[in-house]
Amino acid sequence: MASRSNRELVALTAVELRRLIGSRDISPVELLDACIERIEKVNPFVNAVTATCFERAKFEAKAAEQAVLRGESLGLLHGLPLGVKDLEPTQGLLSTMGTPSMRNNVPSADIELVARLRRAGAVVVGKTNVPEMGAGANSRNPVWGATGNPFNPNLNAGGSSGGSAAALALDMLPVCTGSDTGGSLRIPAAICGVVGLRPSPGVIPSVRKSLGWSSISVVGPMGRTVADACLQMAASAGMHPGDPLSYPLDANSFLNPLPVDLSRLRVAWTEDFGQCDVDPAIRRSFRSKVASMRHLFAACDEVSFDLGPDLHRCFDVLRAEAFVAGMRATYEKDPSSLGPNPRSNYEMGARMSLLDTAWAQTEQTRILQRFQSVFKDYDLVLSPTTPVSPFAWTQPHASVIDGRQQDNYYRWLALTYLVTLTTHPAIALPCGLDEAQMPFGLQVTGPFRADHALLGAAHAMEQAFASHADLCRPRPDDARLVKAVPALESIVTAAPDDRFTHVPNDGATASVV
């Protein structure tokens, strides 16, 4: 193999890196060292990676190298450096959820998602930043500060998987985890120029959620490409009793995207689902991109939706119900320990009645049934992922869209949480730049429980987009990385007592970069 610089090495896809490890063309130790060098160089500009465990990772990468040399059977992610979203408990590594009350929390065991990725051979390198307790789509919190956008650190990286998206976009790590309730995988992926898949509920077990039978919260893969997302999907899918919605399936069936002939697909598109506020500039960018890709499909038609008048209220109730279930003990012990977003969600839910939750469950069922009408004639639905271009991270959320005041801090997520309510799988696919020269993410929604078909179509679209200047995946430019003003960590009000060095339970050193 021709000699590669560390910069060239970390820019390779996860799929290619895994192939090179398996063929002994690169070593897991070599790859980890390159990733650490990259993190130390660019993370100070965006604050995507928080607590790290470099020394433990080096020990594990060396063990992974020896396994290759001994000719052992290798897992799907063998030797690949992994970033774990800071909502997922990770053994021996500071796991704060971005909230001050957990600033010294070092779990003694991995949650199931992390455990599966480790068993597949991934080497955990560190945690990636989130909004406090995952509440919101701007990854800033009072423990670690804010995450800046890889294309402009003064703008936000989305959330709640913002740290993962930024780390992937800037080639710090080849594999990162995410999760999604109202768009937390899709939104950061969209505005950082990477792929984020919200799978159907139960495909990847989500054992962290308190309401096991709820369909609105899932965990899922992020990657620089659709194939990278498929690789992580294959390593994490499958039944687990911690998630009662999970079911037996062949996880390896996700490993390679199904071949799809785009010219046989009938595609519907909508700017707003008839329900969502969308900025005029995003509408123009979306229409332009649809015009550039419509020749790829058998049909590409604008369609209208009638999902009922109460969609937003339905999501309000179901989201609040989940926050009440997950935060009751913390709130009752000390309400002031919760930040404004999680606290407002909890208090909204605490005021609701059984009548409200029964109505919301019933209405979600009706929304799902109404949504099926479009798939009688079409294979996919295309829409924007976000209604606005990335805004300053100092602005907590998009409060006004197209001149209309938003009801609350998450109403601007309507394009994605609408799809959440349908339970359909959806993927954010990089699709060039918007009018502000920031990444534009195309939301592609597939039929009910058709994750394989969606991934196959998304992979084919990605391949077709690659040769089109207006549609191909944008890449951030290191030369444009500047220190954010104000500093990304400036909102930190209560940093961990040992912010720069933490000694986890297993004795490994976890540093903060």
Q: What is the pLDDT of residues 16-47, one digit of tens each?
A: 999 999 999 999 999 999 999 999 999 999 99
Q: How many structural domains is the chain composed of?
A: 2
Distance from C-alpha of 192 to C-alpha of 351, rounded to nearest angstrom: 37
pLDDT grade for 507, boundaries at 50, 70 and 90:
very low
Same-domain pairing of 252 and 268? no
Q: What would the two tokens of residue 203 be?
A: 């495909």
Report pLDDT for 174: 98
On whether residue 380 sits in a domain, the answer given is yes
pLDDT for 498 equals 34
What CATH number corresponds to the domain at position 382? 3.90.1300.10
| Marked catalytic residue, from 58, 85, 209, 289 | 85
Q: What is the 3-state secondary structure (H, E, C) of 125-152?
A: EEEECCCHHHCCCCCEECCCEECEECCE
Report the pLDDT averaged over residues 354-363.
97
- Identify the weakest region by mean pLDDT among 54-63, 267-276, 337-346: 337-346
- Does residue 252 lie in a domain region? yes
In a domain? residue 44: yes
My answer on whether 317 and 436 are in the same domain is yes
- Work out the average pLDDT over 49-73: 98
431 and 358 in a common domain: yes
Structural domain includes residue 350? yes
Q: Which helix (H) or strand (E) holds 445?
A: strand 439-445
| Whether the Cβ atoms of residue 197 and residue 221 lie closer than 8 Å to each other | yes
CA distances from 41 to 12, 135, 175, 509 (A): 18, 29, 18, 20
Q: What angle do CA 139, 389, 200 make, to 5 degrees?
A: 65
In a domain, 5, yes or no: no
Say if residue 289 is in the same domain as residue 225: no
Q: Are residues 380 and 320 in the same domain?
A: yes
Radius of gyration of the chain (CA): 21
What is the arithmetic mean of pLDDT over 158-163?
98
pLDDT given for residue 344 in this prediction: 84
Percent pLDDT > 70 in the chain is 95
Given the residues 184, 246, 383, 389, the one annotated as active site: 184
Does 198 map to a domain? yes
Question: pLDDT, tens digit, for every residue of 378-414?
Answer: 999 999 999 999 999 999 999 999 999 999 999 999 9
Residue identified by tokens 């059984």 is 354
CB 466, CB 472: distance < 8 Å = yes
| 210 plus 279 within the same structural domain | no
The pLDDT confidence band at residue 512, using thresholds 50, 70 and 90, is very low
In a domain, 3, yes or no: no
The answer to whether 138 and 131 are in contact (CB under 8 A) is yes
* pTM of the predicted model as reported, rounded to 2 decimal places: 0.95
Which of the four pLDDT bands, split at 50, 70 and 90, describes residue 453? Answer: very high
Do 271 and 231 reside in the same domain of the chain? no
Dist. CA 267–CA 265, nearest whole Å? 6
Q: pLDDT class for 496, splitting at 50, 70, 90?
A: very low
Nearest CA among 310, 315, 253, 291 for reference residue 452: 253
250 and 269 both lie in a single domain: no
Alpha-carbon distance of 84 to 103, in angstroms, equals 16
Non-local (6+) Cβ contacts of 492 within 8 A are 142, 143, 144, 145
pLDDT greater than 80 at residue 505:
no
pLDDT the model gives residue 339:
83
The reply to whether 281 and 242 lie within a common domain is no
- Computed over every residue of the chain, the mean pLDDT equals 94
- Do 216 and 313 fall within a single domain? no
Backbone angles phi, psi at 450, to 5 degrees: -105, 55
Over residues 221-240, the mean pLDDT reads: 98
pLDDT-derived band of residue 470, with 50, 70 and 90 as boundaries?
A: very high
Contact 17, 4 (CB under 8 A): no
Question: Is pLDDT at 299 greater than 70 in this prediction?
Answer: yes
* Across 355-362, average pLDDT: 97
Are 220 and 366 members of one domain?
no
For the residues 41-58, what does the mean pLDDT come to?
98
Would you state the pLDDT for residue 336?
85
The full length of the chain comes to 513
Nearest 5°: the CA angle 174, 204, 188 is: 50
Residue 504 above 70 pLDDT? no
Active site residue 292: no
Q: What is the pLDDT of residue 323?
A: 87
Closest to 64 in 3D by CA, of 31, 93, 40: 31
Look up 215 and say whether it is catalytic.
Answer: no
Residue with tokens 């800033």: 140
Q: What is the pLDDT of residue 72?
A: 98
455-467 residue pLDDT tens? 999 999 999 999 9
The answer to whether residue 420 is domain-embedded is yes
Q: Domain span at residue 402?
A: 262-465
Q: Catalytic annotation on 333?
A: no
Does the pLDDT of residue 490 top 90, yes or no?
no
Do 206 and 325 sit in the same domain of this protein? no
Q: Report long-range pairs for 89-92 (Cβ below 8 Å, ≥24 apart).
A: 89/114, 89/208, 90/114, 90/124, 90/127, 91/504, 91/505, 91/506, 92/53, 92/56, 92/504, 92/505, 92/506, 92/508, 92/510
